[in-house]
């Protein structure tokens, strides 16, 4: 029995454990600058909002309500992620940020962690406005009283990051367990926070689908960050990826090779053109259907170099 559980735990959390262990072993706490900063910011905001002089500024900068105008609400949403809810113990928010944000930062990086956290929080914020608009009689609606509820805290971001990281590293049972817990929360106590968690799960599920669709084409070339579009190696029309076959580049383009010069000509002479060709096109060898006449330079006769006009026969 123990061996079976150990094998299951290794299969479920082994890749995630390996991704977290290596950077922590090499760098220690220095591998978590964003997470430690988020924990410190949350603790600071908790201290400030519990002071008479600090409650108003924190509410003005980080409190989001469904009744607020959309513009100010979107501006306050990033900071609202780190403002602890007044009716919940702050140690819970700090522990969630330290654990889930820390694992996500080690596995996904700082930018992706912040992007997913903000997307999950924004999904919950926008759902609250939609739910209030629908009304309590709608299947996914909310009562008008929820429009005045202060919507702060990292819970939606924590739920979204937990599911995304678990899915990314193959811990599908863990991702399913978190999702099932959020559904059970809504069924047990139908409130604004629980429904916002479901909205965050839907947003993260969409991100998982987009990431899976991108991973289905691993051979598709991708530009490195900071590289302008079209700066990669050029492939001429009609050529293969290995550079063999097909026509060469159009005339006038620099290819790194010296231009061909016909015998008897000098640098600066006008380019020679075969009969039947036009300026700006490739001047290849004459075709069999139209034999080429020997070229005579102006001011010379055949076989002589006197410079007199050619004799008309």
Are 124 and 138 in contact by the 8 Å Cβ rule? The answer is no
The span from the first CA to the last CA of the chain, in angstroms, equals 108
**What pLDDT does residue 250 have?**
46
Please check the confidence at residue 153 and state whether its pLDDT lies above 80: yes
**What pLDDT does residue 223 have?**
45
**What pLDDT does residue 135 have?**
87
pLDDT digits (tens, 9 = 90+) for 211-223: 998 887 655 555 4
Residue appearing with tokens 């949350």:
42
Please check the confidence at residue 238 and state whether its pLDDT lies above 60: no
Task: Identify which of 45, 64, 65 has the alpha carbon closest to the alpha carbon of residue 55.
Answer: 45
Q: What is the largest CA-CA distance in the chain?
A: 112
Residues belonging to the chain: 313
What is the pLDDT averaged over residues 191-201?
A: 92
Please check the confidence at residue 47 and state whether its pLDDT lies above 80: yes
Please check the confidence at residue 53 and state whether its pLDDT lies above 50: yes
pLDDT digits (tens, 9 = 90+) for 121-137: 999 999 999 999 998 88
**What pLDDT does residue 4 have?**
86
What is the pLDDT averaged over residues 228-248?
A: 46
The band of 200, judged by pLDDT with boundaries at 50, 70 and 90, is very high
User: Does the pTM of the predicted model rise above 0.75?
Assistant: no
Q: Of the ranges 126-130, 169-173, 184-188, 301-305, which one carries the lowest mean pLDDT score?
A: 301-305
Please check the confidence at residue 233 and state whether its pLDDT lies above 60: no
**What pLDDT does residue 229 have?**
42
Domains of the chain, each with CATH number or no CATH = 7-214 (1.20.1540)
Query: Which has the higher per-residue pLDDT, 305 or 108?
Result: 108
Q: Of the ranges 134-138, 192-196, 201-205, 230-234, which one carries the lowest mean pLDDT score?
A: 230-234
pLDDT digits (tens, 9 = 90+) for 250-264: 444 444 445 555 555
**What pLDDT does residue 269 have?**
52
Task: Identify which of 56, 164, 85 has the alpha carbon closest to the alpha carbon of residue 119.
Answer: 164
Task: Identify which of 150, 221, 254, 162 has the alpha carbon closest to the alpha carbon of residue 192.
Answer: 150
Q: Of the ranges 90-94, 198-202, 271-275, 309-313, which one carries the lowest mean pLDDT score?
A: 309-313
**What pLDDT does residue 189 have?**
84
Q: Of the ranges 44-53, 188-197, 222-231, 292-301, which one carries the lowest mean pLDDT score?
A: 222-231
Q: How far is CA 135 from CA 131, 144, 148, 201, in A?
A: 6, 7, 14, 22
**What pLDDT does residue 243 have?**
46
What is the pLDDT averaged over residues 97-113?
A: 95
Q: Of the ranges 61-75, 164-178, 228-242, which one carries the lowest mean pLDDT score?
A: 228-242
Q: How far is CA 255 from CA 82, 113, 236, 272, in A?
A: 56, 44, 11, 20
Please check the confidence at residue 74 and state whether its pLDDT lies above 90: yes
What sections of the chain are H helices per DSSP?
2-27, 33-49, 55-62, 70-80, 90-96, 102-108, 110-134, 155-168, 172-188, 192-215
């Amino acid at each position: 029995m123990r061996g079976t559980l150990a094998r299951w735990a290794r299969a479920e959390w082994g890749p995630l454990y390996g991704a977290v262990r290596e950077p922590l072993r090499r760098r220690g706490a220095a591998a978590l600058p964003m997470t430690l900063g988020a924990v410190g910011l949350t603790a600071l905001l908790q201290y400030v909002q519990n002071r008479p002089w600090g409650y108003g500024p924190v509410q003005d900068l980080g409190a989001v309500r469904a009744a607020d105008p959309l513009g100010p609400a979107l501006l306050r949403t990033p900071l609202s992620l780190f403002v602890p809810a007044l009716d919940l113990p702050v140690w819970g928010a700090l522990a969630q940020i330290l654990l889930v944000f820390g694992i996500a930062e080690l596995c996904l990086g700082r930018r992706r962690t912040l992007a997913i956290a903000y997307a999950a929080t924004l999904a919950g914020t926008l759902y609250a406005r939609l739910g209030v608009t629908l009304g309590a009689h709608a299947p996914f609606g909310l009562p008008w009283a929820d429009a005045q509820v202060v919507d702060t805290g990292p819970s939606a971001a924590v739920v979204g990051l937990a599911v995304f990281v678990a899915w990314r590293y193959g811990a599908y049972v863990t991702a399913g367990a978190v999702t099932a817990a959020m559904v059970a929360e809504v069924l047990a106590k139908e409130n604004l926070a629980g429904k916002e968690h479901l909205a965050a799960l839907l947003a993260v599920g969409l991100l998982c689908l987009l990431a899976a669709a991108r991973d289905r084409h691993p051979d598709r070339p991708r530009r490195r960050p900071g590289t302008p579009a079209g700066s990669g190696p050029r492939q001429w029309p009609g050529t293969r990826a290995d550079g063999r076959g097909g026509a060469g580049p159009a005339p006038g383009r620099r290819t790194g090779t010296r231009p061909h010069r016909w015998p008897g000509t000098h640098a600066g002479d006008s380019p020679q053109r075969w009969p039947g060709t036009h300026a700006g096109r490739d001047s290849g060898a004459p075709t069999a259907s139209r034999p080429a006449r020997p070229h005579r330079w102006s001011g010379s006769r055949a076989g002589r170099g006197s410079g007199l006009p050619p004799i008309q026969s």
